[in-house]
DNA sequence: ACCTGAACACCGTTCAAGT
DNA sequence: ACCTGAACACCGTTCAAGT
């Protein structure tokens, strides 16, 4: 049974009140992680969700599992962005939009920023599927740009998380500011054919 | 009294055995932070230094203070690198060497990497002097490169910590690997005049 | 089945007692 | 003056008792 099958099964079997609680816990965690980073306390998440601390642990075995869930939903957003960027006609614009929109998506979420930089060693195992779903359109965007001579010929899809991680580190270091746009500009310039 | 004057005075006034202990604690912390990151326990630092936990706290009021001291010595290394790079004749090579050597200096130190990325909010207050000492030669290197048309005309000294932070995030995410050199390559390409 | 919160474990920090 | 380590505080996690 794959993790996602297991999860679906769980969701189906869950009693209505339990499902509501699970959802509330996750929403509370998402909000608090976004606002305050990975440092929020489990007790705070519980009270924000209106449940006891034990209920948080019933649905998510560790704090890390809660983080992994949060990262999973963020990754789905990346995939949406990639699919939309693929529709852009100009090959370079597609690449630039992919990176810019992805950065914007990360901008307001301190917890996700920390996760992207690998601060805690996050459980990436539950996220393989989402990574693959993102990689497929991203790969097509890059291949098209390479063939059109719009980016350096050695650009690969593996450059994206690497560069995103760098831009994210600027967001995290200078929160609320626009310094990361400067970083993005430099990185985009570095991707042009040389 | 500036922090450094205070520190010097402390060092002078310290009893010989106390000074030796202080040094041992700092060395132990430096090694362990470098190897294992900011996660090392104070107790581990103490036993590695061969002193009681109370002695660690006698010399450094918090774990953060120990991290700040470690970062200070790392910054001094950056300044050495900048002064050496300034002697390089080719203006572009000076810039490239500055960034490359700085990256290499960060490579083996997980704790410093985390500090650079702002994981814990580090006390940067004690490090203003070291930052200024680095900024001076770095500024001269960049100005020369801008005037020679070797880098984009809007490059500034503030780009350096930003870009270093990004490269560091790659090191931290893919430790032991050479992926960060690819990141550096891209960044250097982005600095070329456009 | 699921929920709750008191209790436990772990680690940063303090402080009374020792030299 | 300086050192030590037992004790405290804080936060992630568990589990016995409740519905």
Neighbours of B180 (CB within 10 A): 24
Nearest nucleotide, CA A43 to C1' = D11
CA-wise closest residue to B163 among B93, B86, B95:
B95
Q: Based on the domain organization, do B53 and B80 belong to the same domain? A: no
Q: Based on the domain organization, do A78 and A50 belong to the same domain? A: no
Q: Based on the domain organization, do A124 and A188 belong to the same domain? A: yes
pLDDT score at B5: 40
Domain count, chain B: 2
| Angstrom distance (rounded) from CA B121 to CA B126 | 13
Is the separation of the CB atoms in B141 and B94 below 8 Å? yes
Residue carrying structure tokens 């869950």: A14
A57 Cβ nearer than 7 Å to chain C strand: yes
B54 Cβ nearer than 7 Å to chain C strand: yes
State which residue of chain B sits closest to A151, comparing Cα positions.
Answer: B186
DSSP codes joined into one string, B140-168: HHHHHHHHTTSS-TT--TTHHHHHHHHHH
Which residues in chain A show pLDDT less than 50?
1-9
Q: Based on the domain organization, do A144 and A179 belong to the same domain? A: yes
A45 Cβ nearer than 7 Å to chain C strand: no
CB contacts of A168 in chain B (<8 Å) are 169
A 157-186 residues with CB < 8 A to B: 159, 162-163, 165-170, 172-173, 179, 182-183, 185-186
Give me the CA A15–C1' C12 separation in Å, rounded: 41
C-alpha to C-alpha distances, A16 to A12, A19, A20, A23, B188, nearest whole angstrom: 10, 5, 6, 11, 55
Q: Which domain holds residue A29?
A: 1-61
Helix (H) or strand (E) holding A54: helix A53-59
| Angstrom distance (rounded) from CA B10 to CA B31 | 23
Copy the structure tokens of residue A72. Answer: 């999973």
The CATH code of the domain that includes B187 is 1.10.357.10
Q: Based on the domain organization, do A55 and A80 belong to the same domain? A: no
pLDDT above 70 as % of chain B: 94
Q: Which residues contact B52 (CB under 8 A, 6 or more apart)?
A: B46
Instruction: List pLDDT tens digits, range A126-136.
Output: 799 999 999 99
Residue at which a domain ends, from A61, A80, A110: A61
How far off is chain B from A5, nearest CA to CA, in Å?
A: 29
Q: Based on the domain organization, do B87 and B179 belong to the same domain? A: yes
Instruction: List pLDDT tens digits, range B119-164.
Output: 777 878 779 999 999 999 999 999 999 999 999 999 999 999 999 9
Q: Based on the domain organization, do A55 and A117 belong to the same domain? A: no
Q: Based on the domain organization, do B24 and B112 belong to the same domain? A: no
pTM equals 0.91
B75 Cβ nearer than 7 Å to chain C strand: no
Instruction: List pLDDT tens digits, range B164-185.
Output: 999 999 999 888 899 999 999 9
Three-class secondary structure of residue A136 per DSSP: helix
Nearest nucleotide, CA A56 to C1' = C3
Q: Based on the domain organization, do A122 and A189 belong to the same domain? A: yes
Residue at which a domain ends, from B14, B37, B61: B61
| Angstrom distance (rounded) from CA A175 to CA A180 | 9
pLDDT score at B59: 98
The CATH code of the domain that includes A11 is 1.10.10.60
A63 Cβ nearer than 7 Å to chain D strand: yes
| Angstrom distance (rounded) from CA A118 to CA A115 | 5
pLDDT score at A12: 63
CA-wise closest residue to A62 among A52, A53, A75:
A53
pLDDT: which is higher, B61 or B13: B61
CA-wise closest residue to B183 among A167, A58, A36:
A167
Nucleotides of D under 7 A from a protein CB: 1-7, 11-16
Q: Based on the domain organization, do B126 and B193 belong to the same domain? A: yes
Nearest nucleotide, CA B59 to C1' = D2
State which residue of chain B sits closest to A186, comparing Cα positions.
Answer: B190
Question: Quick check: B135 contacting A, CB < 8 Å?
Answer: no
Question: Quick check: A113 contacting B, CB < 8 Å?
Answer: no
Q: Decide: residue A175, CB within 10 A, 0-12 exposed, 13-18 middle, 19+ buried.
A: middle
Is the separation of the CB atoms in A161 and B166 below 8 Å? no
Q: Based on the domain organization, do B4 and B47 belong to the same domain? A: yes
Q: Based on the domain organization, do A57 and A74 belong to the same domain? A: no
pLDDT score at A11: 57
Residue at which a domain ends, from A36, A61, A86: A61
């Amino acid at each position: 049974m794959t993790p996602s099958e297991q999860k679906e099964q769980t969701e189906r079997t869950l009693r209505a009140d339990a499902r509501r609680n699970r959802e509330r816990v996750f929403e509370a965690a998402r909000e608090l992680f976004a606002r305050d980073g990975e440092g929020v306390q489990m007790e705070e998440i519980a009270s924000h969700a209106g449940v006891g601390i034990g209920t948080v642990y019933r649905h998510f075995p560790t704090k890390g599992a809660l983080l992994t869930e949060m990262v999973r939903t963020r990754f789905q957003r990346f995939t949406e962005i990639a699919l939309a960027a693929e529709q852009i006609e100009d090959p370079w614009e597609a690449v630039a939009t992919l990176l810019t929109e992805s950065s914007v998506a990360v901008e307001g979420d301190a917890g996700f920023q920390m996760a992207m930089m690998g601060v805690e060693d996050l459980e990436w195992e539950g996220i393989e599927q989402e990574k693959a779903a993102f990689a497929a359109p991203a790969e097509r965007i890059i291949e098209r740009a390479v063939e059109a001579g719009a980016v350096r010929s050695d650009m690969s899809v593996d450059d994206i998380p690497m560069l995103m991680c760098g831009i994210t580190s600027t967001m995290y270091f200078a929160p609320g500011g626009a310094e990361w746009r400067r970083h993005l500009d430099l990185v985009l310039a570095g991707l042009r054919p040389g």
